[in-house]
Amino acid sequence: MNKPKLLIARRIYPEVLSKLQEHFDIDYNDSDEVYAKDELIKRLQGKQAAMTTGTDRVDEQVLKACPELKICANIAVGYNNFDVASMTARKVQATNTPDVLTETTADFGFALMMATARRVSESEHYLRKGLWTQWSLDMFTGPDVHASTLGILGMGRIGQAIAKRGAHGFAMRVIYHNRSKLSAPLEQACKAQYVSKEELLKTADHLVLVLPYTPEAHHTIGQAELALMKPTATLTNIARGGIVDDAALAQALRAGTIAAAGLDVFENEPALNPELLSVPNIVLTPHIASASRKTRAAMADLAADNLIAFFTKGQVLTPVNTIQ
């Protein structure tokens, strides 16, 4: 019996590749270069399956050109690289990798928020340039994290995990805004209080963004929203690029509208708005919130399990859409 043909669009760990080789005839992108759309379409010809990451855009044009495609398994919890409506209409299964990255991403989000508040990158650059010649009382002072107000925009699994770290580990007051209010038991577990978006922006000492990207969420945080925040507040984005208007953020940081920002995701990444590189009060990381070896391997492994289950059992473990 012929094996289904699978495109693995980015490099994966050897143990996951070996597992997939038992079930699929594989075209493997060992060079790890991001395929342009034309190349992605070319590589998908005759393929029934694809293992993708957020860099691989599967839209109507790709789907129309690749009629044999039956499933795309994303190595990510987010799936804004998928045109889910078109995939559903063309009966192409979409899957993602929730849960396995929750705690690792929450660890990083909290670390990035703390580094932002306590001016870790800014002070390190100062030291590396040889500018530190003496200690002074007010050198690189920043806002406290403990006993401050943590605001979370987007209260899914990762948002809840961050809330628990703040409330239980740092005695923070936790407020949040979400599309829907959490159940009373979940709010109690997170020690979190639901507030309006406006109150969240006005009240939070440290605002962390963990909402999914959708067209409606584009520039959820822009000039008007930044203007509502405290001048002593920090903003941390570990969600998706495009949720923050990066140009407006750079301007707000330069003007002192807010105190500092920490970004792991960017509009048009890996390209950056150059203004972000010219302001000192910002911590920048290259989309690594889930980047522990254990977690990244678990993400790839879950994507592989979705592919295998689809062809062996006719169902998947973590579907994004429902195929009738």
Per-residue pLDDT of 47-102, as tens digits, reads 999 999 999 999 999 999 999 999 999 999 999 999 999 999 999 999 999 999 99
- Is 240 an annotated catalytic residue? yes
Q: Please give the pLDDT value at position 286.
A: 97
Same domain, 134 and 96: no
Mean pLDDT of 241-254: 97
Same domain, 88 and 163: no
Closest CA to 72 of 279, 240, 56: 56
Same domain, 215 and 111: yes
User: Is 323 contained in some domain?
Assistant: no
Same domain, 86 and 108: no
Radius of gyration of the chain (CA): 21
pTM greater than 0.75: yes
Q: Catalytic: which of 103, 199, 269, 275?
A: 269
Range of the domain at 85: 5-100+293-313
Distance CA 58, CA 86 (A): 9
User: Is 43 contained in some domain?
Assistant: yes
Q: Catalytic: which of 10, 119, 177, 240?
A: 240
Same domain, 50 and 109: no
Same domain, 63 and 204: no
Angle at 94 between CA 299 and CA 246, to 5 degrees: 70
Instruction: Decide if pLDDT at 275 tops 80.
Output: yes
Mean of pLDDT over the chain:
97
Q: What is the CATH number of the domain that holds 227?
A: 3.40.50.720
- Number of domains the chain is built from: 2
- Is 269 an annotated catalytic residue? yes
User: Is 319 contained in some domain?
Assistant: no
Q: Please give the pLDDT value at position 324.
A: 84
Mean pLDDT of 14-24: 98
User: Is 321 contained in some domain?
Assistant: no
Please say whether the beta carbons of 230 and 205 come within 8 A.
Answer: yes
Same domain, 48 and 147: no
Q: How confident is the model at residue 119 (pLDDT cuts 50, 70, 90)?
A: very high
Q: Catalytic: which of 23, 43, 157, 287?
A: 287
Same domain, 272 and 186: yes
User: Is 49 contained in some domain?
Assistant: yes
User: Is 19 contained in some domain?
Assistant: yes
